[in-house]
């Protein structure tokens, strides 16, 4: 289907749909209006009947009120008034004698009904063919304020067919009466049916007229759609023809372009856009030709650059492989050095422990040397006492015998001191031997002390012999005492020299202790430095491993770059070929 036919179809379809909708709405409105008129007519008839019933009933009530007023002023008694009122109501007629009234009490006892035998009897239980207790309903509705209507089915006089009848009842409270009247409403249905037939006839007449109008209107819409479609389609056909020319690659300006199709609406904008498209494509194709030539030139340069980049990437990859190998070897050497540093650290710890133990031993030795020095000082004092005693013995030889026992004890003490000195000197020599090179001088002094102790012991033995000799030969006591004094002096000197040696030994031991402590500090510092070196070596090992990994990554990236450069080199060749093809394709376009 052509665009023109589509436009006509759309216009006709829209107009038809619009007309159809309007027609449906009008038909619906007309039908509803017809029904409303019929219902209004029925309501009017019903209202007229109800008004007639109420007016007639009010007339009868006014009669009863008049009679009741006579009772009130004493003219009539209640019984006379009731009878008078009933008689008057029974005689009342309306609607050419067809309409009449009846009266029932609140209990349903009939008072007035055309003088029939029903009067004076209860008919509260009366029902119509539909089962409605109509007397009960009329009494109930009549006792409402303003009275009420009651519908029932009841046959007309002389007929057997029940027909709809509307009754109106109202209460007269002084006598407890319910006064009512009614009329058959079957004629309303007949009148409404006639009115409905007339309304339907008028409805069909209106529908026919509306149908003719819609048909004429639809024909007019079709004509307008045809004209409108031509006005829209002709400019579009012009644009389509021009676009077909563009499709052949001819974008040259058309001198036969019909300007009469130009307009200010969307179609005019479309024609202007077509001209802009023609100019834009012409300009673009010129730029494409220039760009294609540039792409061809750039592709060759890119090919050369890609080849050089591939060679450089290969060189980088090889270098990174060597770096990774060197880093791996360096990592192995660092691991070995790390193990050696750990071993050195363990040895330094052992050395520290040994120095600390030696320092403790030297400290003990110092304490013992100081103690021995004090002992030697005591021995010196004892030797001085011996010297004094010997001198006194020489002066008072007569008292020699009495003092022999005391001297013997002194000699025993000297022997004990000499033995202890000898033992201390031996221990000092042993400790000096343990100290090695640092204790060599200490060992010589200790050996001299030991010799002096032995001499002291021998001197004590000689003194003991002298005492025995004194006891045996008192005549030689003075000479021997003089000799003992000399020996005591010599022993005192030796002991003093021993004390000085012990003091020197104690001073040397103190210096050894200080040197040991300094060595301990140095070794501890060296141990900490060793740990630091170990940590640095481990850090270097981690860095070496990381460098090796990074070198491998760089090598892999370089290899990938080489492959990429190869692909770029290949792609640049393809790009050059594509640029040439694009140039050939662009040459097919015709431009101003």
What is the token pair recorded at 540?
A: 């270097």
Q: Which of 71, 72, 67, 74 is nearest to 88 (CA)?
A: 67
State how far Cα 87 lies from the chain centre: 100
Q: How many CB atoms lie within 10 A of CB 316?
A: 17
Residue 512: exposure state from Cβ atoms within 10 A (0-12, 13-18, ≥19) = buried
> Which pairs with CB-CB distance under 8 Å and at least 24 residues apart come from 278-287?
278/246, 278/251, 278/253, 281/246, 281/251, 282/251, 282/591, 282/592, 285/251, 285/586, 285/589, 285/591, 286/591
Give one DSSP letter per residue of 296-354, joined into a string: HHHHHHHHHHHHHHHHHHHHHHHHHHHHHHHHHHHHHHHHHHHHHHHHHHHHHHHHHHH
Q: Are 12 and 222 in contact (CB under 8 A)?
A: yes
Buried residues in 125-154 as b, exposed as e (16+ CB within 10 A): ebebeeeebbbbbbbebbbeeebbbbebbe
- Say what the pLDDT of residue 204 is: 87
- Crossing angle of helices 266-395 and 186-247, in 10° steps, is 80
Residues 367 and 371: their CA atoms lie apart, in Å, by 6
Domains of the chain, residue spans: 47-199, 344-557
Whole-structure pTM value = 0.35
Q: Which of 419, 490, 425, 431 is nearest to 457 (CA)?
A: 419
Which residues does residue 165 pair with via DSSP β-bridges, in sequence order?
152, 184
Closest CA to 383 of 498, 493, 492: 492
As a whole number of angstroms, the distance between CA 159 and CA 113 comes to 18
Q: Strand (E) positions, 10-161?
A: 102-105, 110-112, 148-155
Cβ neighbours of 382 (radius 10 Å): 17
Nearest to 170 by CA among 203, 209, 144, 142: 142
Fold of 344-557: Helix Hairpins (1.10.287)
- What radius of gyration, in Å, describes the C-alpha atoms of the chain? 78
Q: Which helix (H) or strand (E) holds 256?
A: none
- CB under 8 Å to 574, separation ≥6 — which residues? none
CA angle 521/527/530 to nearest 5° reads 145
Judged on CB neighbours under 10 Å (0-12, 13-18, 19+), 23 is middle
Count of residues making up the chain: 592
- pLDDT in the model for residue 343: 76
47-199 sits in which CATH class?
A: alpha beta
Q: How far apart are CA 163 and CA 169, in angstroms?
A: 19
CA separation for the pair 373, 449 (Å, rounded): 11
pLDDT in tens, the chain (592 residues): 777 677 777 777 887 788 788 878 877 887 888 788 888 888 898 899 999 999 999 999 999 999 999 999 999 999 999 999 999 999 999 988 889 999 999 999 999 999 999 999 999 999 999 999 999 999 999 999 999 999 999 988 888 889 999 999 999 999 999 999 999 998 888 888 888 888 888 888 888 888 888 888 889 878 887 787 777 777 777 777 777 776 787 767 665 566 666 667 777 777 777 778 767 777 776 776 677 677 677 666 766 765 775 675 566 557 656 655 665 665 676 577 567 657 756 765 775 576 577 567 557 656 765 675 676 577 557 667 756 765 776 575 567 567 667 766 766 776 776 678 778 767 877 877 777 776 677 677 667 767 876 776 786 677 667 667 756 765 676 576 677 667 757 766 755 775 676 577 567 657 756 765 775 676 577 567 657 756 755 775 576 567 567 657 756 765 775 676 677 667 767 767 776 777 677 666 666 6
State whether residue 130 is helix, strand or coil.
Answer: coil
Q: How many helices (H) and strands (E) does the chain have?
A: 8, 5
- DSSP characters for 477-495? HHHHHHHHHHHHHHHHHHH
Residue 123: the pLDDT is 95
Residue 154 DSSP class: E
Asked if residue 547 lies in contact with residue 555, where contact means CB atoms within 8 angstroms, the answer is no
Per-residue CA distances from 406 to 41, 375, 388 (Å) = 177, 21, 13
* Amino acid 392: pLDDT: 73
Q: How far apart are the first and last CA of the chain?
A: 36
Q: How far apart are CA 421 and CA 459, in angstroms?
A: 14
Closest residue by Cα to residue 233 from 269, 264, 273, 261: 261
């Amino acid at each position: 289907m052509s665009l023109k036919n589509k436009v006509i179809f759309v216009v006709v379809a829209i107009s038809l749909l619009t007309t159809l909708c309007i027609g449906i709405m009008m038909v619906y409105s007309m039908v509803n209006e017809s029904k409303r008129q019929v219902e209004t007519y029925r309501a009017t008839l019903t209202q007229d009947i109800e008004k007639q019933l109420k007016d007639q009933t009010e007339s009868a009530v006014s009669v009863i009120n008049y009679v009741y007023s006579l009772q009130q002023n004493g003219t009539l008694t209640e019984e006379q008034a009731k009878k008078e009122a009933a008689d008057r109501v029974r005689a009342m007629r309306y609607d050419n004698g067809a309409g009449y009234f009846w009266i029932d009490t609140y209990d349903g006892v009939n008072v007035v009904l055309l003088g029939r035998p029903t009067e004076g009897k209860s008919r509260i239980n009366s029902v119509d063919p539909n089962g409605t207790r109509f007397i009960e309903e009329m009494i109930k509705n009549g006792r409402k304020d303003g009275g009420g209507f009651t519908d029932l089915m009841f046959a007309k006089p002389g007929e057997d067919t029940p027909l709809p009848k509307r009754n109106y009842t109202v209460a007269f409270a002084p006598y407890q009466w319910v006064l009512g009247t009614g009329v058959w409403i079957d004629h309303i249905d007949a009148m409404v049916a006639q009115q409905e037939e007339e309304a339907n006839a008028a409805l069909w007449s209106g529908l026919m007229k509306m149908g003719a109008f819609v048909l004429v209107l639809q024909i007019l819409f079709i004509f307008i759609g045809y004209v409108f479609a031509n006005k829209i389609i002709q400019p579009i056909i012009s644009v389509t023809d021009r676009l077909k020319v563009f499709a052949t690659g001819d974008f040259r300006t058309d001198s036969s372009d019909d300007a009469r199709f130009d307009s200010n609406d969307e179609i005019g904008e479309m024609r202007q856009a077509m001209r802009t498209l023609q100019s834009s494509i012409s300009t673009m194709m010129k730029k494409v030709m220039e760009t294609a030539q540039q792409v061809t030139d750039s592709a060759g340069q890119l090919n050369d650059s890609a080849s050089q980049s591939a060679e450089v990437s290969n060189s980088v990859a090889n270098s990174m492989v060597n770096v990774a190998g060197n880093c791996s070897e360096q990592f192995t050497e660092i691991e070995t050095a790390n193990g050696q540093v750990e071993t050195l650290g363990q040895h330094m710890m052992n050395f520290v422990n040994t120095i600390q133990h030696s320092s403790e031993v030297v400290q003990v030795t110092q304490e013992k040397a100081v103690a021995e020095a004090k002992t030697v000082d005591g021995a010196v004092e004892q030797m001085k006492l011996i010297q004094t005693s010997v001198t006194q013995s020489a002066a008072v030889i007569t008292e020699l015998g009495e003092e022999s026992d005391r001297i013997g004890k002194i000699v025993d003490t000297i022997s004990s001191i000499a033995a202890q000195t000898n033992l201390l000197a031996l221990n000092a020599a042993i400790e000096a031997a343990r100290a090695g090179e640092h204790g060599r001088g200490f060992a010589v002094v200790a050996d001299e002390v030991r010799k002096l102790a032995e001499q002291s012991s021998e001197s004590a033995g000689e003194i003991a012999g002298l005492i025995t000799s004194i006891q045996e030969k008192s005549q030689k006591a003075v000479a021997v005492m003089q000799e003992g004094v000399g020996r005591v002096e010599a022993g005192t000197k030796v002991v003093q020299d021993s004390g000085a040696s012990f003091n020197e030994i104690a001073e040397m031991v103190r210096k050894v202790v200080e040197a040991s402590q300094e060595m301990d500090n140095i070794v501890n510092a060296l141990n900490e430095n060793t740990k630091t070196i170990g940590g640095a070596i481990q850090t270097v090992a981690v860095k070496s491993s990381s460098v090796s990994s990074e070198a491998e990554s760089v090598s892999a990236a370089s290899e990938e770059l080489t492959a990429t450069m190869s692909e770029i080199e290949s792609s640049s060749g393809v790009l050059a070929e594509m640029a040439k093809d694009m140039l050939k394709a662009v040459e097919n376009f015709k431009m101003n």
